[in-house]
Amino acid sequence: MDSIAAVNVVAFKTIVTKEIRRFMRIWVQTIVPPAVSALLYMMIFGTLIGSRVGEMDGHRYIDFIVPGIIMMAVITNSYSNSVSSFFGAKFQHHLEELLIAPVHNFVILAGFVAGGVCRGLMVGALVAAVSMFFTKLSIENPLITLLVVVLTSTLFSIAGVINSVFAKGFDDISIIPNFVLTPLTYLGGIFYSVKLLPDFWEGLSFINPVLYMINGFRFGILGTSDISIGWSFTVILSFIVILASVALYLLNKGVGIKS
Amino acid sequence: MKALEITGLKKTYDNDHVALDGVDLSVDKGDFFALLGPNGAGKSTTIGIISSLVNATEGTVRIQGLDLKSQRNQCKLLIGLVPQEFNFNVFETPLNILVTQAGYYGIPKSVAQERAERYLKLLELWEKRDRPAREMSGGMKRRLMIARALVHQPEILILDEPTAGVDIEIRRSMWEFLEEINKNGTTIILTTHYLEEAETLCRNVAIIDDGKIVEQGAVSDLLSRSKFQSFVFDLKQPPEQPPVLEGFKVTHCEGSRLDVEMPLGDSMNSLFEQLSSQGLEVVSMRNKSNRLEEFFLRLVSSKDQQEAS
């Protein structure tokens, strides 16, 4: 390993450590709220309303929605961690600490993404723990479950970095989560099987990438899905490759971060 | 060996503003060098390009013989930067800021902790090591940025207006600290508005104006080319009208203050005799500005006059 490669290994660990320290320092804002939201979703939709809904895709309604609720928490927290951390660093100019250091842009991206993944998984684990109060969470395919959640978290962490590269103000980092991410997540089959939809809407749902992630995760946990697991992995991996390439291009060009 | 060699450096921003228009500059290894110039002259852009925060439009930069464009990361290892604006995470503690910065340069945590302790102690910040940086005073924040720039032990330290907004006592102690690390072999390049700072600390200076280097050389050489000096006299009584002083130029007369410009090396006896003969009694006198400032102002104002004509 040459000296610059060795520098970058330490730099990567440093960025990840800093990112974890950042979100843990404000854990009341970053870790607890998603667990409270998930608790309310499970109480209201799972227990109160769900008991009248009956079965969905051959599972109790609460069992059906738990994977989606976990995945929703993972997606939103992975995204919001990298978008707020990267934009905060840009806004306060301490991103310059990294830009003047001998750190490859790939390592900068990987560090922020790893931070987002750590928060996403931590929140996901907490929501999963909360779900134990409502259902007996048994995992059919642990490896698939883990792969889908890590890859999805990676994807949305990268998307968060791209958002923050273009963002010029705090409004710009809330537009995508509020007006794109939330609708796609809610319409991605958290609370229902797309098979229940009329043909047109079912067909339209398949252009929503979040559907492939939630169903991939549901397949890992329950063993059933609206979409084949192969398609889920194909879509997730394709988006990761595309978004990572875009993010690296932007960082290499210095878009939004250099004059 | 040259610590820094810049050739034909140009920078045009997206709004078509030409910040640098062919800058050529060289700094010897071990030098204490000042880059001077009025606001908007191109000092910070030059430093931004050297430290990889600004993309150059054209030209080459070599850091200790390495090409910045093709060997950027190797060059970055050699440079420490103290920027003009505070650019650290104000919610972090000074200790974490230094250890994190060291990590970006590949320094393992155990070594980084030792170095952070050393520099925080040297810059009298150790007591504040575990408090959020936002609680520190302006002078402490400046010293924190110096400690952060040194934590990877760079061979070249670049400081952009390092003493802006700090009180005289802290400024003097920072000067002593910088002189000490320069003696230990670190090349120092600074920009400053305090020309006294450049005259006191630096061996060589360059003056940049409108994106071009208009003068470069040893401070002593530039000072020897300065032909005039100005004094401020405080008179016991305000004169009724500005006095006429043969061989001297009255540049300002207001109340009991009198500014006089005179050729460097001329005797002042005649000046005092003329003042006395006109019934003007001098209570005190001082240099209007330091000699480098005098030279700098003349250079910039003569250029402005040329442009106006």
Asked if the model's pLDDT at residue A53 lies above 90, the reply is no
Region B3-10 average pLDDT: 96
pLDDT given for residue B303 in this prediction: 62
pLDDT, tens only, B104-134: 999 999 999 999 999 999 999 999 999 999 9
Which residue in the set B48, B85, B101 is minimally distant from A97, CB to CB? Answer: B101
Region B165-180 average pLDDT: 85
Asked if the model's pLDDT at residue B196 lies above 80, the reply is no
Mean pLDDT of chain B: 88
pLDDT category, B289, cuts 50, 70, 90?
A: low
* pTM given for the model: 0.86
Distances in Å between the Cα of B50 and the Cα atoms of B9, B66, B229 are 10, 12, 35
Q: What gap in Å lies between CA B164 and CA B84, rounded to an integer?
A: 8
B269 with B208, same domain: the answer is no
- A8/B106 CB distance under 8 A: yes
Region A155-170 average pLDDT: 95
Rg (CA), chain A: 19
**Which of B200, B224, B248 is the last residue before a domain boundary?**
B224
B248 with B140, same domain: the answer is no
- B87/A21 CB distance under 8 A: no
B45 with B157, same domain: the answer is yes
How many domains, chain B? 2
Residue A45 lies in a domain: yes
Region B251-274 average pLDDT: 84
Residue A27 lies in a domain: yes
B216 with B294, same domain: the answer is no
B185 with B265, same domain: the answer is no
Region B141-161 average pLDDT: 95
Which residue in the set B51, B83, B106 is minimally distant from A11, CB to CB? Answer: B106
Asked if the model's pLDDT at residue B31 lies above 80, the reply is yes
For chain A, what is the largest distance between any 2 Cα atoms, rounded to a whole number of angstroms? 63
How many domains, chain A? 1
pLDDT given for residue B308 in this prediction: 56
Tell me the residue range of the domain where B232 lies: 228-308
Residue for token pair 């490759």? A241
Q: What gap in Å lies between CA B262 and CA B247, rounded to an integer?
A: 8
Q: Kindly report the CATH number assigned to the domain that includes residue B116.
A: 3.40.50.300
B58 with B93, same domain: the answer is yes
Residue A258 lies in a domain: no
Asked if the model's pLDDT at residue B78 lies above 70, the reply is yes
* Chain A residues with at least one Cβ partner in B under 8 Å: 3-4, 6-11, 13-15, 17-18, 21, 25, 89, 92-94, 96-104, 254, 258-259
Q: Which residues of B178-200 are buried (b: 16+ CB within 10 A; e: fewer)?
A: beebbeeebbbbbbbebbebbbe
Residue A31 lies in a domain: yes
- B96/A21 CB distance under 8 A: yes
Q: Kindly report the CATH number assigned to the domain that includes residue B262.
A: 3.30.70.1560
pLDDT given for residue B247 in this prediction: 84
B194 with B51, same domain: the answer is yes
Residue A48 lies in a domain: yes
- B74/A102 CB distance under 8 A: yes
Residue A259 lies in a domain: no
- B103/A94 CB distance under 8 A: no
Mean pLDDT of chain A: 93
pLDDT, tens only, B174-195: 889 999 999 999 999 999 877 7
B65 with B144, same domain: the answer is yes
**Which of the residue ranges A50-59, A85-94, A119-128 would you say has the lowest mean pLDDT?**
A50-59
Residue type at A225 in one-letter notation: S
Asked if the model's pLDDT at residue A70 lies above 90, the reply is yes
Tell me the residue range of the domain where A111 lies: 3-253
DSSP chain B: -EEEEEEEEEEE-TT--EEEEEEEEEEETT-EEEEE--TTSSHHHHHHHHTTSS--SEEEEEETTEETTTSHHHHHHHEEEE-SS--S-TTS-HHHHHHHHHHHTT--HHHHHHHHHHHHHHTT-GGGTTS-GGGS-HHHHHHHHHHHHHTT--SEEEEESTTTT--HHHHHHHHHHHHHHHHTT-EEEEE-S-HHHHHHH-SEEEEEETTEEEEEEEHHHHHHT--EEEEEEEESS--SSPPP-TTSEEEEEETTEEEEEEETT--SHHHHHHHHHTT--EEEEEESS-HHHHHHHHHHHHHHHHHH-
Please tell me the distance in Å from B94's CA to the nearest CA on chain A: 13
pLDDT category, B304, cuts 50, 70, 90?
A: low
Decide the pairing of beta strands B2-12 and B18-28. Answer: antiparallel
Task: Name which of B17, B28, B282 is nearest B155 in CA terms.
Answer: B28
* 3-class secondary-structure state, position A55: strand
**Which of B169, B196, B224 is the last residue before a domain boundary?**
B224
State ipTM. Answer: 0.89
Region B57-83 average pLDDT: 95
Residue B194 in contact with residue B285, Cβ under 8 Å? no
- B100/A259 CB distance under 8 A: no
**Which of B193, B224, B255 is the last residue before a domain boundary?**
B224
Region A30-55 average pLDDT: 88
pLDDT category, A58, cuts 50, 70, 90?
A: confident
B155 with B170, same domain: the answer is yes
Asked if the model's pLDDT at residue B43 lies above 70, the reply is yes
Region A22-34 average pLDDT: 93
Residue type at B239 in one-letter notation: P
Residue A223 lies in a domain: yes
